[in-house]
Chain A
Amino acid sequence: MTLTVSMTVNGKAVSRDVEPRTLLVHLLREHLGLTGTHVGCDTSQCGACVVHVDGRSVKSCTMLAAQADGASVTTIEGLAAADGTLHPMQEAFRNNHGLQCGFCTPGMVMSAVDLVRTNPDPSEHEVRTWLEGNICRCTGYHNIVKAVLEAARTMRQPAAAE
């Protein structure tokens, strides 16, 4: 038995027939070929799979594709501008060496973007608390935190970012 799910992914309407047990992350990776969203665990702990569903960060391994029916989903592939210009959060990760192996990075970036949406001027403590659901084994979080704080500053004053 399959069911049809339809949603907008990175601005494009998509529709696929999937098994009911299909997770959103599997729809993205296997049916849509969007392999930027990663799977790092099987207990909803690591955050490698974070995407935005209707603008809010969600662990896509913890949501059925069917639950995202009708939603607007943004993955890491959809964050930069169409011309390839990086989102300020991506740019800040790059400036501050906020990534090493890159595997946790898509989830980290998507989660951090949602933090700054809800809290435009977070403290270091607030950044660390927010990212508690995203595990990074490489960076010790030091440069990730630096990056998120820098991005928040940039995003508060977009004109000054140039």
Chain B
Amino acid sequence: MTTDGIGAPLRRKEDYRFLTGRGNYTDDINRPGQAYAVFVRSPIAHGRIRSVDTADAAAVPGVLTVLTGADVAADGLGGLICGWMIHSKDGSAMKAGAHPVLAQDKVRYVGDHVALVVAETQAAARDAAELVAVGYDELPAVADTAGARGASSAVHDEIADNTCYQWELGDQAATDAAFAGAAHVTTLDLVNNRLIPNAIEPRAAIGDYDRGSDSFTLYTTSQNPHVHRLVLSAFVGIAPEHKLRVVAPDVGGGFGSKIFIYAEETACLWASKRVGRPVKWTADRSESFLADAHGRDHVTRAELAIGADGRFLALRAHTTANLGAYLSTFSSCVPTYLYAPLLSGQYKIPAIHAAVDGVYTTTAPVDAYRGAGRPEATYVVERLVEVAARELKMDPAELRRRNFVQPADYPYQTPVIMTYDCGDYEASLDKALDLADYAGFAARRADAAARGKRRGIGFSAYIEACGIAPSAAVGSLGAGVGLWESGSIRFTPTGTVVVHTGSHSHGQGHETTFAQLIASHLGVEPGNVEVVHGDTAQTPFGMGTYGSRSLAVGGSALVKAADKIVAKGRKIAAHLMEAAEADIAFADGKFTVAGTDKEKSIQEIAFAAYVPHNFPGDLEPGLEETAFYDPVNFTFPAGTQICEVEVDPDTGVVEIVNFVAVDDFGVVVNPMIVEGQVHGGIAQGVGQALCENAVYDTGSGQLVTGSYMDYRMPRADDLPSFKVGLTVTPNPSNPLGVKGCGEAGAIAAPAAVMNAVTDAIGQEIQMPATAERVWRALAAAPMAAE
């Protein structure tokens, strides 16, 4: 029996290779004879392509080919797709502008891919790319989210109002009626600032065409290699699915940005057949800034109606969501179905209505980034609740408590699709209040004031919908895919185990967590379990990793497969021990015969399965099982974060002096890994609240924040150590009782930080609360009331 199973803070199996420089990231891979690709990108935000002259570039020594939009068209290469259909409130389908692999007639953002140079060396490709002469007729940029619908210029000629959809959710009449009768209404105008994901490993790809087998291999930085293969085959038309293998080796962080199927890896595959050589591309960071899908970018008017008894009556939000120049792979669902269904928060709100205008702009595509829609929803709900408490002169913890969904209410149906299945929101609030020493805050604030500083405290009681998702549910909402997951368990004859998962690890530690899970269920040591992921040639078809789904959905698939292993093992054990199958019990890695001392270890059963010298005819050899698991519900991780800040009014610098997060993730398999996920999420959320901001110049459409010099990443000295705690309500909707932990920190933190900052400075301010913004706000209203 192993002690390293579920619940153990086991050190990670993957760490030795990463710590000794033996990871295998895409850019570490080199294929024999490989050539190098460099993209020619648009230097302007918006314009018609008059001409593309490749002659000088093609003449550079070492250049193998220069490919343009005309070649894409000539080869009949399909465009990039968006896999989620959204319908506007009038019933019409969303308007999706074409997204060619290389620009055809127009460029639509700075960094849009215009041509591809392939050469013997990266230096030659770079030199040649500079010589590709593109003539543009420049058009006005459309860089402002709020102004896009009324802009004079159309990003896609056929979509005159730059509007992809005007979508709504909830009962507008009931919501308006509740507002009409409310004792108090809190109104906020909120900007959810645009972010650039910035996984530290830049995206990369090697396209490798093999003429002998007429098949392709793509090595790439993907969170979901099977989805990559499906889209590249079925929609772009690179090759039939069985002739395309996608390998996502070690991947250096994703946070959503490596879910999507981009032009670059597509072009590398296509070019590799054209030049007959493997073609490698590695983004430099400047390209990551320009051409990775960005996140967030909402402008929202939000209102909360409250009764005289302090109970919430209704919430409404009107959001303009920037989708960028093209619809990225899942972009359409992020500001709709991943956003508005979370607007009930942890609260009983009888009526909710959300209206979302998805707009095109001449900026990089916007898609899912850690949390995806749920941080935006949490920001709306938790800012409203905090400000309402201030306006009503109520304790913000008390106002929340009064409105929480209570444990007795489950299953709780919100007015916006979701059915919450379990939770205990007061438990996590209470624990957070305790860890934050809320009772001592008034004294700390007075002490800070005596030192000329302003202290503030802010709450964020978030909920998220993870473990995406039941296929029937998402299908009815417009998803083009099912969101189940796969897993297989293969015993070797010597009793060790190889596990294949359709999910993908790019920092989350699946190789450890899944080994622990198998260890607990099958009674083998985690050290004897190898977890394989990220290769379509090895793993069963799977949907990949995003939306905190790997354990809840992928882990559940493995539990199902483990159950099948035990069932098969029971048959073999019954045969070997000459007992009835019904009398065989399995626990702690041993099959036993009830009422006897006979037992066989699972390793002995595995050996017999592969050396079946005397198996009866109806007993199949082998011990290997595959399972597919389709969840029955979303999961609903929830918790409370409390942030305490100190602001220096002379400089505007915001220091986080305390940060508490108490989360309910259901059952926890590896608490060390779970805490690490929380830490990382908080850092990204704090980054959004205090420093990160992707800025396009509204006149020229140029990306102003195009490097780490201008785009302020949170650094070690910007952050404190965090206080993290857990509460547990096991999830009734999956066999493990887990909920998912990957996004909570990023979802909750922006509201907690901004509630603290606005508390400290006594006035509203938009994210990011940089020193300059805070200083300006205080300079304009120095005596703002506390």
Interface residues of A (CB under 8 A from B): 19, 21, 29, 34-43, 45-46, 48, 75-77, 79-80, 84, 86, 90, 93-95, 97, 99-106, 109, 124-125, 127-129, 131-132, 134-146
Of chain B, the residue at the smallest CB distance from A144 is B716
Contact A100 B722 (CB under 8 A): no
- Complex Cα gap A37–B250 (Å): 14
Q: Give bound CA distance, A44 to B12, whole Å.
A: 30
- For residue B132, CB closer than 8 A to chain A, the reply is no
Minimum CB distance partner of A104 in chain B: B200
Which of B133-141, B582-590, B671-679 contacts the other chain? B671-679
Q: Within 8 Å CB of B679, what residues of A?
A: 139-143
* Distance A29 CA – B23 CA, assembled complex (angstroms): 13
A35 nearest CB neighbor, chain B only? B28
From residue 705 to 739 of chain B, which have CB atoms closer than 8 A to chain A? 707-709, 713-717, 719, 721-722
Let me know if A46 and B200 touch, CB within 8 A: yes
A-B residue pairs in contact (CB < 8 Å), sample of 28: A35-B27, A35-B28, A36-B20, A36-B21, A41-B708, A42-B286, A43-B285, A43-B708, A46-B285, A48-B200, A75-B21, A77-B21, A94-B16, A100-B508, A104-B200, A105-B19, A128-B719, A129-B717, A131-B716, A135-B200, A138-B680, A140-B683, A140-B714, A140-B722, A140-B745, A141-B679, A142-B679, A142-B719
Q: Which of A36, A80, A128, A141 contacts B23 (CB 8 A)?
A: A36
| Partner among A102, A125, A134 whose Cβ is within 8 Å of the Cβ of B14 | A102
Residues in B with CB closer than 8 Å to A104 are 200, 252
- B11 CB to closest chain A CB (Å) equals 6
B495 within 8 A of A: no
Distance in Å: Cβ of A76 to nearest Cβ of chain B: 4
Interface residues of B in 1-29 (CB under 8 A from A): 11-12, 14-23, 25, 27-28
Find out whether the CB atom of A102 lies under 8 angstroms from the CB atom of B716: no
Also in contact, A102 and B252, with CB within 8 A (given A40-B285, A94-B15, A128-B716): yes
- The answer on a CB contact under 8 Å between B683 and A86 is no
Q: Please tell me if B509 contacts chain A, counting CB pairs below 8 Å.
A: yes
B684 sits at the interface (CB 8 A)? yes
B711 CB → nearest A CB, Å: 10
State whether B707 touches A102 (Cβ < 8 A). no
Minimum C-beta distance from A119 to chain B (A):
15
Q: Are A139 and B680 in contact (CB under 8 A)?
A: yes
Interface-central residue, A40, A94, A102, by most chain B CB under 10 Å: A102
Mark each residue of chain B from 198 to 217: 1 if its CB lies under 8 Å from any CB of chain A, else 0: 11111000000000000000
Residues from chain A with Cβ under 8 Å of B17 in the complex:
102
Q: A46-B708, A141-B683 are in contact. Are A132 and B18 (CB under 8 A)?
A: no
Chain A residue contacts of B721, Cβ below 8 A: 124, 142, 145-146
B235-265: which residues lie under 8 A (CB-CB) from chain A? 250-253, 255
Instruction: Tell me how many residues of B have a C-beta within 8 Å of chain A.
Output: 55
**B284-327 vs A: 1/0 string, CB under 8 Å?**
11100000000000000000000000000000000000000000
In the assembled complex, which residues on chain B have CB atoms less than 8 Å from the CB atom of A90?
Answer: 19-20
Contact A137 B684 (CB under 8 A): yes
Cα distance A137–B202 in the bound complex, in angstroms: 12
Find chain A residues with CB under 8 A from B253 CB. Answer: 100-101, 103, 137-138
Chain B interface secondary structure, helix, strand, loop or mixed?
loop
Q: How far is the CA of A27 from the CA of B717 in the complex (A)?
A: 31
The smallest C-beta distance from A50 to any residue of chain B, in angstroms, reads 12
Q: Are A42 and B507 in contact (CB under 8 A)?
A: no
In the complex, which residue of chain B has the Cβ closest to the Cβ of A79? B20
Decide: A103 and B22 in contact? CB cutoff 8 A.
Answer: no
Contacts A35-B28, A100-B680, A138-B507; is A132 near B15 (CB within 8 Å)?
no
Q: Name the contact of A101 in the complex, choosing from B506, B708, B709 (C-beta under 8 A).
A: B506
Tell me, yes or no, whether B190 is within 8 Å of chain A by CB: no
A77→B250 CA distance, assembly (Å): 17
**Inter-subunit contact B22/A36 (CB<8 Å):** yes
Q: How far is the CB of A122 from chain B (nearest CB, A)?
A: 12
List A contacts of B16 (CB < 8 A).
Answer: 86, 94
Q: Which of A19, A139, A146 contacts B123 (CB 8 A)?
A: A19
Q: Is the CB of B20 within 8 A of A101?
A: no
Q: Is the CB of A101 within 8 A of B683?
A: no
Residue on B nearest A41 in the bound complex, by CB: B285
B680 lies within 8 A of A40 (CB): no
Q: Known pairs A101-B200, A104-B252; list 19 more (Cβ under 8 Å).
A: A19-B123, A21-B123, A35-B28, A42-B285, A93-B19, A97-B11, A100-B676, A100-B680, A128-B719, A131-B715, A131-B716, A137-B255, A139-B680, A140-B722, A141-B679, A141-B715, A141-B719, A142-B679, A142-B719
Q: Considering only CB atoms, which chain B residue lies closest to A91 in the complex? A: B19
**Docked CA distance A137–B21 (Å):** 18
In the complex, A127→B717 CA distance in Å?
8
Cα A106 to Cα B285 in complex, Å, equals 18
Report the bound CA distance from A21 to B122 in whole Å.
13
Residues of B within 8 A of A109 (CB): 19
Question: B741 interface residue, CB < 8 Å from A?
Answer: no
Q: Are B722 and A142 closer than 8 Å at their CB atoms?
A: yes
Kindly state the separation between the CA atoms of A41 and B284 in the bound complex, as whole angstroms.
6
> Beta-carbon contacts of B415-431 to A below 8 Å, as 1s and 0s?
00000000000000000
Set of chain A residues within 8 Å of B709, measured between Cβ atoms: 43, 45
Structural contact, A102 and B20, CB atoms closer than 8 A: no
With the chains together, A127 CA to B713 CA distance in Å?
18
Query: Are B707 and A42 within 8 A (Cβ)?
Result: yes
- A143→B20 contact, CB < 8 A: no
By Cβ-Cβ distance, the 9 closest A-B pairs, closest first, are: A36-B21, A103-B252, A102-B18, A101-B507, A140-B683, A45-B708, A100-B507, A140-B679, A76-B21
Alpha-carbon gap, A79 to B198, bound state (A): 28
The answer to whether A132 and B716 touch across the interface, beta carbons within 8 angstroms, is yes
A77 and B11 contacting across the interface, CB-CB below 8 Å: no
- The chain B residue sitting closest to A105, CB to CB, is B18
Interface string of B362-378 (1 = CB under 8 A from A): 00000000000000000
Residues of A near B707 (CB, < 8 A) are 41-43, 45
> Does B20 lie within 8 Å of A140, measured CB to CB?
no
Residues of chain A lying within 8 A (CB to CB) of residue B715: 131-132, 135, 141
A93 CA / B375 CA spacing, docked (Å): 30
CB of B682 closer than 8 Å to a CB of A = yes
Report yes or no: B201 in contact with A38, Cβ–Cβ below 8 A.
yes
Inter-chain contact B507/A102, CB cutoff 8 Å? yes
B713 and A97 contact, CB distance less than 8 A: no
Q: Could you say which residues of chain B place their CB within 8 Å of the CB of A140?
A: 679-684, 714, 719, 722, 745
Which of chain B's residues 678-693 have a Cβ closer than 8 Å to chain A? 679-684
A20 → chain B closest CB, angstroms: 12
The answer for the CA separation of A3 and B679 in the assembled complex, in Å, is: 47
Q: In this complex, what residue of B is CB-closest to A78?
A: B21
The answer on a CB contact under 8 Å between B506 and A139 is: no
Which one of B199, B202, B716, B745 has the highest number of Cβ atoms from chain A below 10 Å of its Cβ?
A: B716
B15 & A137 in contact (Cβ 8 Å cutoff): no
B 497-523 to A, binary, CB cutoff 8 A, 1 in contact else 0: 000000000111100000000000000
Q: Is the CB of A101 within 8 A of B199?
A: yes
List the A side residues contacting B719 at CB < 8 Å.
Answer: 128, 140-142
B708 cross-chain contacts in A, Cβ below 8 A: 41, 43, 45-46, 135
Quick check: A40 and B716 within 8 Å, CB to CB?
no
Contact of A139 with B676 at beta-carbon distance under 8 Å, contacts A36-B20, A77-B20, A132-B716 already known: yes
Contacting residues, chain A, for B672 (C-beta < 8 A): 97
- Residues of chain A within 8 A (CB-CB) of B676 are 97, 100, 138-139, 142-143
Asked if B680 contacts A137 (CB within 8 A), the reply is yes
Q: Quick one: closest A residue to B512, CB to CB?
A: A97
